[in-house]
Amino acid sequence: MNLTSLSRTISHALRHAPWLYELELDNEGWTPVEPLLVALRRERAEWANVTEADLAEMIATMPKQRHELKEGRIRALYGHSIAGKLKKEPATPPQFLYHGTAPETVALITTGGLQPMARQFVHLSSDEATALNVGRRKAHQPVILQVAAATAHECDVRFYLGNENVWLADAVPPEFITPRQGQPDPE
């Protein structure tokens, strides 16, 4: 079984289009595993015998921790674009978080702050290397934005833990953001 393909399909179902898979998410993004398994089995012949154990293996072996499985339920940890904001528990962030972006968006961000755009939350990285990798999806030479997360948190900006490398925020005002230059892709 191709676990990467399985992970992508589950992400699509839990982050962007649960209705296409006949799933109902609660206000924290959870859905029972069994209806997801039924939907996956219909989706592809190779998944005809997919089990909860396969989902657990997928979650354990994927390099990015995108999903959580607990007590017969599953959810995506971050990246949602569905209508209606999911409930997240605020958490105390580290001193700094990072966001990789294209150079042409820096002026907009430094005047208007980081906004979730098509997603429910702003996505931030716990380290510069991860932010650089994210930024490279947007530009050959991305700009890394350093977010003074601890200071922002003290000023009532809410942060939420996505996973060990991803933090979420409703929005980040510009006064907490400092641009730093990224590194070009290795040739």
Q: What is the pLDDT of residue 21?
A: 84
Q: What is the pLDDT of residue 77?
A: 87
CATH number at residue 67: 1.10.10.970
Classify residue 38 by burial, with Cβ atoms within 10 Å: 0-12, 13-18, 19+: middle
Number of structural domains the chain divides into: 2
Q: pLDDT grade, residue 184 (50/70/90)?
A: very low
CATH number at residue 111: 3.20.170.30
Region 115-127: mean pLDDT is 86
- 63 and 113 share one domain: no
145 vs 1 pLDDT, higher one: 145
CA atoms of 160 and 148, how far apart (whole Å): 15
In a domain? residue 62: yes
3-state secondary structure of 181: strand
Residues 6 or more apart in contact with residue 33 via CB below 8 angstroms: 52, 55, 69, 72, 73, 74
Out of 76, 107, 124, pick the residue that ends a domain.
76
Angle, alpha carbons 68-73-79 (nearest 5°): 40
pLDDT of residue 182 exceeding 60, the answer is no
In a domain? residue 29: yes
- 72 and 107 share one domain: no
Q: What is the pTM of this model?
A: 0.65
- 61 and 116 share one domain: no
Q: pLDDT grade, residue 27 (50/70/90)?
A: confident
Give the domain extent around 65. 3-76
pLDDT of residue 157 exceeding 90, the answer is yes
Q: How far is CA 185 from the centre of its chain?
A: 23
In a domain? residue 7: yes
- 141 and 177 share one domain: yes
- 66 and 103 share one domain: no
In a domain? residue 92: no
Residue 83 DSSP code: S
Region 153-174: mean pLDDT is 91
Burial per residue of 89-125, b for 16 or more beta-carbon CB atoms within 10 angstroms, e otherwise: eeeebeebbbbbbbbeeeeebbeebbebeebbbbbbb
Region of poorest pLDDT, from 71-75, 85-89, 177-181: 85-89
